[in-house]
Structure formats: structure tokens, C-alpha cells
Structure 1
Amino acid sequence: MDYGSREGIPVLDVARTTEPDIVGRSKRLWLLPGGRCLVQIIPSLRSFTYQRDEMVERTGPLRLDFYEKAAARIVAAGVPCAFRERVSADHYLADYCPAPPFEVIVKNRATGSTTRKYPGLFEDGAPLPRPVVKFDYRVDPEDQPIGEDYLRALGLPVEEMRERSLAVNDVLRSWLHPVEVWDFCLIFGQTEDGELTVISEISQDCMRLRHEDGSPLDKDLFRKGVAGDEIVNQWSRILDVIS
């Protein structure tokens, strides 16, 4: 199958023989012709709150296992997604849209930053009467909540981002049941014609999932100091649900 190339180099050889154009904490990205890019998942896990930053081998392919299937689900539900095709255990092709410094977080339970930043408002882990959508400014060392009017002042389609985030929430909750989706984050890019598209990974690394027995199947394991092998074992359990 023809996955495209850059300067005549087959797409996977691009990653083997050239330096990435963009390197982040969890991804390496090579720009390709036709508005595409090749992305490699870096098996890194990071928690600012718990001061942990480590490489956990085998988590990269597990994240891509999840993302590949999640992307297909949300596209089928009418939500555009940059993901196009998996080309190796930890590489995939995507449409390229520059990443803005904002993310959207959907919460179905009061957890994480909700109880940490707003102590006393909600009991930790309590179900919320309806999903809460919030926006964060992505900045080191810790992302910060940002008022929606700042985003409107920048000309961003706040209501459309909210609506699409809630649509993704509906898809994930239905698809993953009986695993419970506590929260997740999304990053939206805009195509040249202004179309909103999900450009962020959707995986165990950027959401909170609870098995029906109550155990975490996500990065909370890392936050709590669980060893890498056990993180891999627990993350693999979600594949029994999404196969």
C-alpha cells in the first residue's frame, strides 16, 4: 500500500533516516507532502502533580491500539479526526494541523484537577449530574484553566469545540461500557477551510478509565507509582473491551 513519501523516501524510512520536524513530550512528527504527517508515539509518561516523568516501554503500541479504534469510532459518529492509518506498532499517518496551546477536557466525575483546584466543592470521584467541559491553556510546567471569553477573543469556535467534545464523550461512554469514562482531554486543530478536527491522541495516556471492578486502566496507575510492567498489564485489559 502506498503511504506516501518525502523526497522519494518511503514513509517509514523517513523516520529511520531523517530527523523529526517536531518533537514533543509524547510524539515525534515528520511533515509529509499533501498536508500529511508521520507520527511516532514516544512511550513516555508524565505527571506534574506527582513529579514523575519516565519512559515506560510497551505503552506506545498499547496507546496506538486504543487510538486507532477510538478514531474510527468518532469519525463514524461524524466528528472529524486527523488520524488516517497505522503504519507500524508505534507510527501512524495523520492530517497535519498545527496544535494550538489549548485543550478541552470533559469530566463525567469530579476527579483530578476538579477536586485539587476546587477543594470542598465535590467529593472526590463523585458522579457529576451532567458532563462538565472546561478549557486549559497548555503551558509548562502545568496546564492552567482559561476562561472561555479569552478563547472567543482569539476567534476560536468555543461552542463548536464544546459540542464536538460532548459528542466524543457520548461515543466513548457507549463504546467502552461497562468500563467507565471518568474524564479525557482533546486538542482541536483547524484545517485550511476552518474545519475543526481532533488532532490529539485518544488513549489511556489522556483519560481516566475505570474497569467495572473499580480498578484504574489509565495513567492514574503511573501517578500512584505503579511499576511499568503492571501498567502494561492493566492497560492491556482495556483491549478485551474494545476488540
Structure 2
Amino acid sequence: MSDAELLAVRDAGTPDIEGRSKRIWLLSGGLCVVEMIPSLRSFTYSRDELVEETGPLRLEFYDRAAARLAKGGVRTGFVRRLAPTVYLSEFHEAPPFEVVVKNRAVGSTLVKYPGLFPANSELPKPVVKFDYRIDPEDQPIGEDYLRALDLPVEEFRRIALAVNDTLISWLAPLEVWDFCIILGLDPQGEPVLISEVSPDCMRLRHPDGSSLDKDLFRHGASSEELVTAWQRLLDEIG
């Protein structure tokens, strides 16, 4: 189907799936049309807003990231961009958990395990953890629960670390502090990175110490300040 035909699917009816950040229209052949919802949410800081300008910035970053990840041997569901906030993707069922990689002691590491590491300190090696996705706040889940569901935990871990290596190499000298991804399984049982990769789901720091991610929103920055920082991020990575 042409881009115009795919966008017509989006315009013709209600989405088959709608969450906090995306609307999805299912297609034949294991594909789907995805529209980003420009939502920003922080449970910890009780903040929930729509910022229209963030949608195109997220998708622009994801478009570039998907190309880099493909070169690094990581399979993503991303196919191509159709409009500023709309893209074509493979469709695979999303599991009720996400995979988190942490290079520094930030966020949930400090909240869940106070005193274990100094705040913002670099971890001796990247930490991979799994969080059960549930409202109002995701919760850590033991890996054996995932193994009990016959999920390829070690392969998920390998892919998460490969994503980490690719992002660190691509984004340097910006620092990747942490990120979260969602891995689905194709009909053959092979893992596919099905979530977006963008400043909405990671922590990035400029060499000057400034934040280039959703931490700005978490800590009270205005919509204008957030959009300016995310545009700066895209300008920095070229």
C-alpha cells in the first residue's frame, strides 16, 4: 500500500488499540499503522500533559534510531515514517513487561533501593532489569516469572545490551544514562524490539550536564523548555 492509502486507513476509523502514547490500526500481513499521542506522564511527580510538538520530535528520533539499530544487528518493528507523527510498523503483541537498561544509578534504582549506590553514579557494568507494566506504577518482576511463561529471558537481555551498545556509540559524546524498551515475539518466536526509542523513554545527558530527555518534564520544566531541549538533541546528533 502507498503512504496515502495507509494514512487513509488511519483517517477512516477508530484505532484497534489505543494506549497512553499510541494509537494502532491493524493491517493484513502482520503490519500496523501507528500514530503517536503527544502525551507526557510522570507518576512519581504527578504530572500528565499533552505537548503537541513532542510527537514529531519523538518520531524523528525513532526513525534515526531504528536505522542505527538495524546496522547494529538489532531487529525493530519500524518500517517507515508516513507523516510527522505516523509510521508503519510490524505488529507483534506487546507483553506486559518492559526491559530496562541502566548505566547509572538514577530513577527507580534510587527509589526502590535507597543507599545501594550514590545518586547518578556510573554503575560498574550495565544493569538489565524487567518491570511489570501496570498502572499506576510499573513494578520490578523476577526473571523466573518470565521463564515460567517460557520467554527467552537471556535473549531479551542480550538484545537489550546490544541496544545499549549501539545507542552509546551513536550518541557519544552524549551520555546514555538509562532507557526502557519493549520486546515482542514474531510468529517464529524470535524477539523484535516493538517500542519506540526516543527521549521519552530514556535519560540522556549532554557533556555540559544538561538533560535532553523527559527528566526535564519530571522536574517541572515548561513545555517550551522541553521542546527546545529535544530539538537540541536532534541537532546535536545530526
TM-score by length of structure 1 reads 0.96
CA distance in 1, matches of 2:236, 2:186: 33
Q: What is aligned with 1:86?
A: 81
In structure 2, distance between residues paired with 1:46 and 1:214: 23
Q: Output the CA distance in 1 between the equivalents of 2:174 and 2:7.
A: 35
Which residue in 2 is equivalent to 1:212? 207
User: In structure 2, how many angstroms separate the alpha carbons of the residues matched to 1:70 and 1:112?
Assistant: 23
Distance (Å, rounded) in 2 between the aligned partners of 1:31 and 1:205 = 24
> What pairs with 1:185-200 in structure 2 (closer than 5 Å)?
185-200=180-195
Give the Cα separation in 1 of the matches to 2:2 and 2:220. Answer: 42
Q: CA–CA distance in 1 between the matches of 2:134 and 2:53?
A: 27
Please give the residue correspondences for 1:6-85 in structure 2 after superposition, counting only pairs within 5 Å: 10-85=5-80
User: Following the alignment from structure 2 to structure 1, what is the Cα–Cα distance between the partners of residues 116 and 27?
Assistant: 47
Q: 2:170 aligns with which of 154, 175, 188?
A: 175
Query: Among residues 100, 124, 131, which one is paired with 2:126 in the alignment?
Result: 131
C-alpha distance in 1 between matches for 2:236 and 2:87 = 22
1:161 equivalent in structure 2: 156
AA of the residue aligned to 1:168:
V
Distance, in Å, in 1 between the alignment partners of 2:131 and 2:235 is 32
Aligned to 1:2: 2
How far residue 241 of structure 1 moved from its aligned partner, in angstroms, is 2.5
Decide which of 121, 141, 149 is 1:146's aligned counterpart: 141
Is 1:118–2:117 an aligned residue pair?
no
Instruction: Return the offset for 1:2.
Output: 2.5
Q: Over aligned residues, Cα RMSD in angstroms?
A: 1.0
Give me the whole-angstrom Cα distance separating, in 2, the residues matched to 1:205 and 1:229. 15
Aligned-partner Cα distance in 2 for 1:231–1:240: 14
Q: Distance in 1 between matches of 2:80 and 2:178?
A: 26
Shift of 1:242: 2.2
Give yes or no for contact 1:57–1:228 (8 Å, CA) kept in 2: no
* Cα offset, 1:195, TM superposition: 1.0
CA distance in 1, matches of 2:220, 2:235: 24
SS in structure 2 at match of 1:140: coil
Q: CA deviation at 1:24?
A: 0.3
Q: Give the % identical residues.
A: 63
Opposite residue 183 of structure 2, the aligned amino acid is F
Distance 1:232 1:84 in 2: 26
What secondary structure, in the 3-state scheme, does the structure 1 residue paired with 2:232 have?
helix
Tell me the distance in 2 between the aligned counterparts of 1:142 and 1:98: 21
Cα distance in 2 for partners of 1:230, 1:20 equals: 31
Unaligned runs of 5+ in 2: none
| Alpha-carbon distance in structure 1 between the residues aligned to 2:231 and 2:132 | 31
The residue type paired with residue 26 of structure 2 is L
Q: From 100, 104, 115, give the equivalent of 1:105.
A: 100
The aligned amino acid for 1:201 is E
* Per-residue Cα deviation, 1:172-209 (whole angstroms, up to 9, x for no partner): 00000011000000100000011100000100000000
| One-letter amino acid of the structure 2 residue matched with residue 62 of structure 1 | L
Say if 1:103 and 1:185, in contact at 8 Å, map to a contact too.
Answer: yes
Q: Which runs of 5+ in 1 are unaligned?
A: none
Give 4+ residue runs of structure 1 displaced > 3 Å after superposition: none
